[in-house]
Amino acid sequence: MSNFWDSLSATTQDALLLAALLAIPALVGLVICRGFALRPLLGGLIRRFFWTNLVFVMLVAVAVAVGIGLIAQERGLRQASARVAEKFDLIIAAPGDQTTMLMQTVFLQAGDAPLIDGPTYDRIANADRVALAAPIAFGDSWQGAPVIGSTAEFVTHLSGDLAEGRLWTTHLEAVAGARIPADIGQSFTPSHGVGHGADDSAHEGVSITITGRMQPTGSPWDKAILVPVESVWRTHGLADGHSPEQGGARIGPPFDPAYFPGTPSVIVHPEGLAAAYGLQAQFDDGNTMAFFPGAVLTRLYGILGNIRAAMSLLALISQALVAVAVIAGLIVLARLFARHIALLRAIGAPARMVFALLWSHTALLLASGGLLGLALGWAAVRLTSAAISARTDLIVTASLGWSELHLLAAFLGLASFIALLPPALALTRPIASDLRQ
């Protein structure tokens, strides 16, 4: 059986799991309601106590929506952060903490980092099967936006063709991220450092003009300004990576190792995945560390995986608790229409039919609430994704997946059993006294 299950595709497994979970309430309903035409009576119960029923449905819907929203949002955030790392195949930096360097290089979180020297960069740039080796020099900012030094090839690798304008041709030109609030042609003076401690006057006299704007990348790089790495070095009074023989106006690689001041990290785009693993082994040698951002993120997600499982379980438990609260309410509600039930029984309705009617009523409320919750959860996920995208630098595109459908189906299965309680209790009530009410 296990082998048969494992041989199925993931989609087939998910669909079968959903069908199996939905089969539980369907079978329970079939067994209980078989042989009865309950629709007119059920319709009467719903209409007679419409607003009370609606309150119960909304209670269930909100509980289901919260559970579904949480799971879908967590997945959306995880995928959005992983999507950012896709352009950063391999990062090479001085030995240190991979997660810290990932945050600094990919997510542009401010921090200090030791530098890779010229000869080391030269070995990386000239290694076999390296398609792109771009220095990433950070540390300056403008109005809170990080100013990153790199190469024109990296800009093209990150964003493709520019959305507007052109790439830089001198060290005093820049390309803005998609969400930088500055126009083409606008000039700025970078501050030394990032955040509250940035020194606005450290680079007085330096005026850099924005000549182009990148396409949106859905990453923190949309709120960054890219400049030639030579610009960062010159702004800090360092050599600019090129020998005097190469000419003072030269921009971009190749760099002369003797005039290369250093860079905190290098982004390497290899000529294929196998080459990436070879380069990682070559440069993870004690003098430098080389790592795959995707692998670091996968490790982090692995740690978070247990939290995700706990969240799913908590969501189901909270839904079950709401279902129990609703059942308790329905038991009280049953007293309101106890007279109607007693009348039915007095005129000869079989106990099984009354049981089926009350079970159907409870199950209908829970199922309606569940389905409405799915719609509400989907709407909530859309809204929160838009809000998170607006407040962070990530493009979160959360959507409903199999997990959410499984959660809803599991809830419906559980609810079909919980719904047995109100009719079971209602049938224990004395008919005569209920008729006198």
Partner 1 sequence: MMNILKTLSVSLLALIPVATQAHDHKHHHHGEAEHVAEGEGLRVLHAWMAEPEGDEARIYMEIENQSDAPLVLLGAEGDFASGFGLSGMVLQNGVSVAVDLPELIVPAQREMDLEPGGAAILATGLTEHLHEGDVEEIHVLFKGQEIEIEVAVLERGARQHPHAGHNH
Choose the stretch contacting partner 1; rule: CB under 8 A; options: 43-51, 74-82, 162-170, 320-328.
Answer: 74-82
C-alpha torsion sign, points 184, 190, 193, 197: negative
For residue 276, what are its two tokens?
A: 């990436």
82 near partner 1 (CB under 8 A): yes
CA pair distance 111, 109, nearest whole angstrom: 7
CB of 212 vs partner 1, minimal distance in Å: 27
CB of 74 vs partner 1, minimal distance in Å: 13
278 near partner 1 (CB under 8 A): yes
Choose the stretch contacting partner 1; rule: CB under 8 A; options: 31-39, 196-204, 276-284, 429-437.
Answer: 276-284
DSSP 321-369: HHHHHHHHHHHHHHHHTHHHHHHHHHTT--HHHHHHHHHHHHHHHHHHH
216 near partner 1 (CB under 8 A): no
Q: Which is nearer to partner 1, 55 or 281 (CB)?
A: 281
With beta carbons less than 8 A apart as the criterion, state whether 252 and 153 touch. yes
Question: For the purposes of burial, counting CB atoms within 10 Å of the CB of 11, is it exposed (0-12), middle (13-18) or buried (19 or more)?
Answer: exposed
351 near partner 1 (CB under 8 A): no
48 near partner 1 (CB under 8 A): no
List all residues 6 or more positions away from 158 whose beta carbon is below 8 Å from its beta carbon. Answer: 87, 214, 217, 221
CA pair distance 281, 275, nearest whole angstrom: 10
80 near partner 1 (CB under 8 A): yes
Considering only residues 352 to 411 of the shown chain, the ones binding partner 1 according to CB under 8 A are 403, 406, 410
Choose the stretch contacting partner 1; rule: CB under 8 A; options: 187-195, 219-227, 291-299, 337-345.
Answer: 291-299
Q: Packing angle between helix 10-33 and helix 402-418, nearest 10 degrees?
A: 20
Choose the stretch contacting partner 1; rule: CB under 8 A; options: 55-63, 83-91, 98-106, 171-179.
Answer: 83-91
CB of 381 vs partner 1, minimal distance in Å: 15
The number of CA neighbours under 13 Å toward the Cβ of 122 is 12
CA pair distance 206, 189, nearest whole angstrom: 6
52 near partner 1 (CB under 8 A): no
Choose the stretch contacting partner 1; rule: CB under 8 A; options: 9-17, 166-174, 185-193, 257-265.
Answer: 9-17
* Residues engaged in binding partner 1 (CB under 8 A): 1-7, 13, 16-17, 20-21, 23-24, 78-83, 85-86, 273-274, 276-278, 280-282, 284-285, 292, 294-299, 302, 305, 309, 312-313, 316, 403, 406, 410
